[in-house]
Amino acid sequence: MTEHESIEEPILPPRETLDTWGVPELPDDFADRVVAAWAAGAPPVALARPRRWWAPAAAAVMGAAAAALIAWWIWPGSSPVEPGSQAPAARPFEPAVTRPAPGRDDVSIVVDVSPEDAHLRVREADRTVAEATGDLAATLPAPGAAGYTIEVEHPGYHPQSTGLTFEGRAAEVRIELVARTEAAPADAAGSADAAGPAAEADSTEVSPKTEAPPSREARGSATLRIGTEPGAAPARVEIDGKAVGTTPIARFDTVSGTHRVRWTWADGRSVDRTVTLDIDEVRTLKAE
């Protein structure tokens, strides 16, 4: 008997018990919001483009056109020849595509970001050459001597930027943003060198994020709404030892972090709760 088979399958409480823990309904426009968010964040550089049904046919047509062009170019008699002279040697293959400017080659770049929906831009000087929401895999013109700058940002996180210079033709970079409740990285700008030409398909993974100890000093605003359970009498409320009024308290603006809330009723009974609020969080608390 394997180790798996030796463990009996656990029996969970009956379904009617588990189903008491319900789930609220989503708003009616949830699907529209998701689609709008997807459309707004669609990356201009093809990364995971959906397959198009016509793609194989298009590729075949282009291949046939290229083959016809080559055949016309090298076919005897297709090139101008003086009568009586020997036919010129077949010209070397030159596909009908635009080649990069002399001295510049394309480079392959892969940027892995965290969180996964962070927005990133690849810039050369003051020009954006590529941008995406989420990871990026692209072939770009090789940059000049100053290289590229990769900028990554996401709401709730400290933005980061890093320089990227190339000695070879490929680079892979991973950038992890730091949440705003933690200290910003000490050195967000750095430079990363790509793999040399000998490592044609290899790439160097660089993590420009500088480890910084998390700080609890970073704070923002947060809001509490305080009440009592239906049927319970109103109660006086103290937050962090300070009286703030009697329930219901529709809105109490405070700072993010940990707070102590106390309800006290006329009969002397009291209830204490400790809550931890994130920046911009709105929390409703009730007691009975």
Partner 1 sequence: MVVVARTEPAPRRPVEIAPKVLAAAIDGEAWAFRELVRFYQRLVHSVVWRMLGSPGRRAFAEDVAQEVFLRAFRSLPRYEVRGDTPLSAWLLTIAVRTSIDELRRQRPVVTPLDVVAVPPSAGARPDEAAEWTSTARAVRRAAEDLTPEVRAAFILRAYHDLTYPEIAAALEIDLGTVKSRLHRARKALVEHLGEFRHD
Binding footprint of partner 1 on the chain (CB under 8 A): 3-4, 7-13, 17-27, 30-35, 37-39, 41, 47-53, 116-117, 134, 179, 229-230, 273-276, 278, 281-287
Shortest reach from residue 159's CB to partner 1, in Å: 17
Shortest reach from residue 143's CB to partner 1, in Å: 27
DSSP letters, 76-131, are TTSS---TTSPPPPPPPP--SSPPPPTT--EEEEEEEEESTT-EEEEEETTEEEEE
Dihedral sign from CA coordinates of 80, 86, 88, 90: positive
Query: Nearer to partner 1 by C-beta: 77 or 231?
Result: 231
Helix (H, G, I), strand (E, B) or coil at 232: coil
Shortest reach from residue 18's CB to partner 1, in Å: 5
Query: Nearer to partner 1 by C-beta: 55 or 90?
Result: 55
Query: Nearer to partner 1 by C-beta: 18 or 198?
Result: 18
Shortest reach from residue 115's CB to partner 1, in Å: 8
Query: Nearer to partner 1 by C-beta: 32 or 200?
Result: 32
Residue 128's alpha-carbon distances to 44, 109, 132, 148, in angstroms, are: 11, 15, 11, 10
First vs last Cα of the chain: how many Å apart? 53
Shortest reach from residue 199's CB to partner 1, in Å: 27
Structure tokens at 179: 């949440």
Query: Nearer to partner 1 by C-beta: 123 or 236?
Result: 236
